[in-house]
Structure 1
Amino acid sequence: MTTWVPGAAGSLYDTDNLPYGVVSRGGEAPRVAVRIGEYALDVAPVAALGGDPGDGPHLAAAWDAPTLNPFLALGRDAWRIAREWLMEILTDDIHRAGVEPHLYPLADVRTHLPIEIGDYVDFYASIDHATNLGRFFRPDSEPLLPNWRHLPIGYHGRSGTIVASDTTVVRPMGQRKPPADDAPTFGPTQRLDIEAELGFVVGTPSAHGERVPTEAFADHVFGAFLLNDWSARDIQGWEAQPLGPFLGKSFATSIAAWVTPLEALEAARVDLPVQDPSPLDYLRTGGRAGYDIDVTVALNGTTVARTPYAAMYWSPAQMLAHLTVNGASVRTGDVYASGTISGPGPGQRGSLLELSGGGREPFRLDDGTEHTFLQDGDEVVLTATAPGATGTRVGLAEVRGRIGAAR
């Protein structure tokens, strides 16, 4: 099917994508929109015209909201019906007269944080990233700790500091203690880093005391988006003895303004790398549990890494199964993330810590400057594409962030 929306056919945001976000124009209240090409479709008034595909006005009401949560809570059947309806009205010219007045150029709208986020969990699912960090921090030991191949390692993050793309990230303050110093000092982090990740948002909740099996992943998770887990490595290194990340991570996490539905990524599904030893029963998956998504990391306009999500050891279905195996519930709007996406090659590392050899090997940008960790004024942009249903590619919306000086 070919869309009638100008410039959208064959683009990264054709009808085989249709990500959801929240936008506003002028003094209007924010509400749900769908991206098609370089336009945002204000979906609530279109559904209210009488074309709502559901039984009554439930989609129009869910979309006339400042977050995606009411729509996510409708569940998988509603997501599918909405997607089929959107594809119809954006490809059949008979709908154009009614729909086109509600299409707005992206330059004319403001995007907002698309989700009212509840709990946030971040995983550590890349074997290449975990191995690289193990070599940096435990050079005389095995890089992977004994439990790593048996379960997806994760930690609970801070949902209140998740921000939308293009939000300035203020350099955090905290305690730092270099190995050669006798005592810690307080001040702005000197080792500010990024982590290129993929995030997943829960739509259908689970009951407290019940667990979500791997085969129910798509019944609960609505979609995926790019995520930058900003990290203060010196603060993290001093505080994470013996517990996990805390202030070195909780100051900011940036997510994309548009959420790509899992249905748009169906053609990107691939088999996982071989998992050895074989996971316990509750973590076992069928075929094509991974995703072939190519992520690009750019620093001040220079591409510094191209990293493959297909190389991730643990799948998003396994992460969700492990997150709930003890009976912990998930709720609409909960987010969990993959951890840094790194591949086996030197140009496939999703953090500056890895790209700079632990901070010891500066890398050069196109403007001639050398970098290890982030400096004030630096701008990081994550982008990604994946195979689409029509044989082209779909885009995952960018995550952009600029570093502001410590306060």
Structure 2
Amino acid sequence: MLKLALAAAISMMFVLEPAAAATKHKGHAAATKRVKAKRTNLAKVIADDNRKRMVRRIEMVHGKRRVVYQRVRRAAPAVAMLSAGDIAGLSRTHDPLDLRSNVAYVLDQQSSEVLFEKNAAVALPIASITKLMTGLLVVEARQDLEEVLTITEADVDRHKFTSSRLPVGARMTRGNLLHIALMSSENRAAAALGRNYPGGINAFVDAMNAKARELGMNDTHYVDSSGLSSQNISSARDLAKLVKVAHQEPLLRQYTTDPNYVVQASGRALQYHNTNYLVASPDWNIGLQKTGFINEAGRCLVMQAMIQGRNVIMVFLDSKGKQSRTADAGRMRRWLEALKPASLPASMSGTAAAGVPVTVSAAVPASVSSAATAPVVQ
């Protein structure tokens, strides 16, 4: 009996061993299949990522359209950058309205009475507020708004590397370029306007600075027509002068306050929207406005608006937070609505009591022309 049991056990071993081997083989094959699937999925992810990193651009070569794919670098993670105002210590200035803007300036447009003033004499980078001077020069030069201009490589931003919906080779009227430069802060449009001024961009920048001197904007200096350079600087007091003059031009009032607009570029319709959503708000009566942003300048806003039957000019520079400049405008409007008709002399400092103009400032140099130089997005 013992011999029979031993023989049976040995025979079972020979039967089970192939089965176990077969099972092991199947398991190995399944694992191999899973590894191959993971490799295939990884390859697809890499390919998709590479495609996302390619930018499709249309260029005109010898009169023919050519599609070009250009590989772009992945942007570095966003980090908080100090603005020129922060570096100058303006963020330590407190005001009774608790504004998020390091600089604020409000005056009665008719009487020129200063109603609110915070660091208004400090010259800071102004970003795309620059385009308001660009628009004023184009209008005052009476250049043909129906002339068709072409976007060239010279209009591409090589300073901040901002994007644009206008490809190199796009053709558009000067009027439409002016419209989207003022309404949507289109940088290539502003560059093309300056480049197509008599004498080119250098002559245009000279004319911008000459106009600033003519208007008594002594804290102001321009180096380009778009505002992408942090060397475009001005003070809030100076910008209020610019807004007052620009408001006299009907075309600038219209273009800066249109909520949206469709333009034709090389036969293609492009819809643009205003960078300031307040222009579409029924709570506001805005006659002219312009926004701006680069890291060195912070969020900027200039506006002409009617509040309680009074035309006022507002300037907010170096504001912190995406919606902070418009929120500051709202705080200022509510304060102005509470003001009594007769106010004290503008030179007085005080609290935000009704009828009392406010002047607050930090002990900083009158001009701060350089600050953080990290890449920015306009």
| TM beyond 0.5 | no
Question: Which structure: greater helix fraction?
Answer: 2
Query: Max radius of gyration: which structure?
Result: 2
Normalising by structure 2, we get a TM-score of: 0.26
Normalising by structure 1, we get a TM-score of: 0.25
Question: Which structure: greater strand fraction?
Answer: 1
